[in-house]
């Protein structure tokens, strides 16, 4: 086996064994604490521009399949794990995790001391890195890490977004891979879903709760959206810095009060900026399927799936217009808010999970109920 090197911009080096594509890639090095669901993580468009470290010690053991991907292909720049299994053992597996990543040019570094690496990122904050599975000096990789693009100010949502409008027509099975979808309601709402990096499981959930879904590019104007006669608008997750999307926030501002709006993850940040608030970069972000969030409306704790590196500044939201509804119990950051007079609410986490818990699925039902009430 050849050697893999992960070099960080601060000069820290981690060496391991090489799997996947024989290449080198740069990106922001982040970590995810999920226990399972690595294929969904690989294929989540929100990881564009990032090298992902998984804290679960063994990755690849159950392979990959055709049902679980959340996007058209893997979006991560590279993968660092403690132990990578090139052999898959699962009745649903159709391709090994190594082949799945290798065919898209993604390198894998195994036998990395992920415990030390994650503690390093938690202490100092996320860093840019360079991951190589081809012969390369550590000094050269450190230099490449230092010259990699910063996530701050970077517009990646328009890169991954669909380039044309399309109807989401995939049938929704009752049971599908990691998602227990249950009964699908007959379509009664027309939802326009803004694609800033939308996961397929989100579209399935919207469909499950009675929506006919039209997916539109991130650059779609308010006038174009209203011309499609929506019963509601959904603002999706996605990669990059929300400050780079102020043009999209300006268009969203025109939709507030004209149709019900539901945003998640990057969608919450864009909604916040549409209301005039500020956003900021977290030290190391929230990524994983085990983040506790307090719902202030019910006083209940939800275990949530999250994947974001930026956050809305609650002090910059207009208190007369916005009610703060959800808070992260680990660091007290804002996880959700709703408008006091207009049909608009959003959360910072992923209520559709995949992978992750289903504690927050009620939000899709809340969105459907909001559209019903607005229609009346």
- Residue by residue, what is the 3-state secondary structure of the chain? CCEEEEEECCCCEEEEEEEECCCEEEEEEEEECCCCCHHHHHCCHHHCCEEEEECCCEECCCCECCCCCCCCCCCCCEEECCEECCCCCCCCCCECHHHHHHCCCCEEEECCCHHHHHHHHHHHCCEEEEEECCCCCHHHHHHHHHCCCCCCCCCCHHHHCCCCCEECCCCCCCEECCEECCCCCCCCEEEEEEECCCCHHHHHHHHHCCEEEEEEECCCCHHHHHHCCCCEEEECCCCCCHHHHHHHHHHHHHHECCECEEEECHHHHHHHHHCCCCEEEEEEEEEEEEEEEEECCCCEEEEEEEEEEEEECHHHCCCCCEEEEEEECCCCCEEEEEECCCCEEEECCECCCCCCCCCCCHHHHHHHHHHHHHHC
346 is catalytic: no
Q: Which of 265, 277, 311, 346 is catalytic?
A: 265
Q: Which of 28, 302, 335, 352 is catalytic?
A: 352
326 is catalytic: no
Q: Which of 120, 291, 308, 350 is catalytic?
A: 350
277 is catalytic: no
User: Which are the catalytic amino acids?
Assistant: 265, 350, 352
């Amino acid at each position: 086996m050849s050697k893999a090197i992960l070099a960080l911009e601060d000069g820290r080096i981690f060496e391991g064994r090489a799997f996947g594509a024989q290449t080198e890639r740069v990106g922001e090095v982040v970590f995810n604490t999920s226990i399972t669901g690595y294929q969904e993580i690989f294929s989540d468009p929100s990881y564009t521009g990032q090298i992902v470290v998984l804290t679960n010690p063994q990755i690849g053991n159950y392979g990959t399949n055709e049902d679980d991907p959340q996007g058209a292909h893997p979006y991560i720049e590279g993968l660092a794990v403690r132990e990578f299994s090139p052999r898959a053992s699962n009745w649903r597996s159709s391709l090994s995790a190594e082949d799945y990543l290798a065919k898209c040019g993604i390198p894998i570094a195994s036998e990395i001391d992920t415990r030390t690496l994650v503690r390093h990122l938690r202490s100092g904050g996320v860093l840019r890195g360079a991951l190589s599975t081809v012969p390369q000096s550590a000094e050269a990789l450190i230099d490449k890490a230092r010259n990699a693009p910063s996530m701050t100010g970077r517009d990646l949502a328009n890169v991954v977004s669909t380039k044309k409008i399309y109807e989401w027509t995939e049938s929704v099975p009752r049971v599908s891979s990691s998602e227990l979808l249950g009964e699908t309601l007959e379509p009664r709402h027309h939802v326009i879903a803004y694609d800033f990096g939308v996961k397929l499981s989100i579209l399935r959930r919207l469909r499950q709760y009675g929506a006919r879904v039209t997916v539109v590019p991130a650059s779609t104007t308010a006038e174009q959206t209203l011309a499609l006669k929506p019963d509601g608008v959904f603002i999706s997750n996605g990669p990059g810095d929300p400050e780079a999307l102020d043009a999209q926030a300006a268009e969203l501002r025109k939709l507030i009060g004209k149709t019900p709006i539901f945003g998640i993850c990057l969608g919450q940040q864009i909604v916040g900026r549409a209301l005039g608030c500020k956003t900021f970069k977290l030290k190391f972000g929230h990524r994983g399927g085990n983040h506790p969030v307090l719902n202030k409306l019910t006083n209940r704790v939800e275990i949530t799936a999250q994947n974001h590196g930026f956050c809305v500044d609650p002090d910059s939201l207009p208190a007369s217009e916005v009610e703060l509804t959800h808070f992260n119990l680990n660091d007290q950051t804002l996880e959700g808010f709703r408008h006091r007079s207009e049909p608009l609410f959003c959360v910072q986490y992923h209520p559709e999970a995949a992978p992750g818990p289903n504690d927050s699925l009620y939000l899709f039902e809340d969105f459907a109920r909001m559209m019903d009430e607005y229609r009346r």
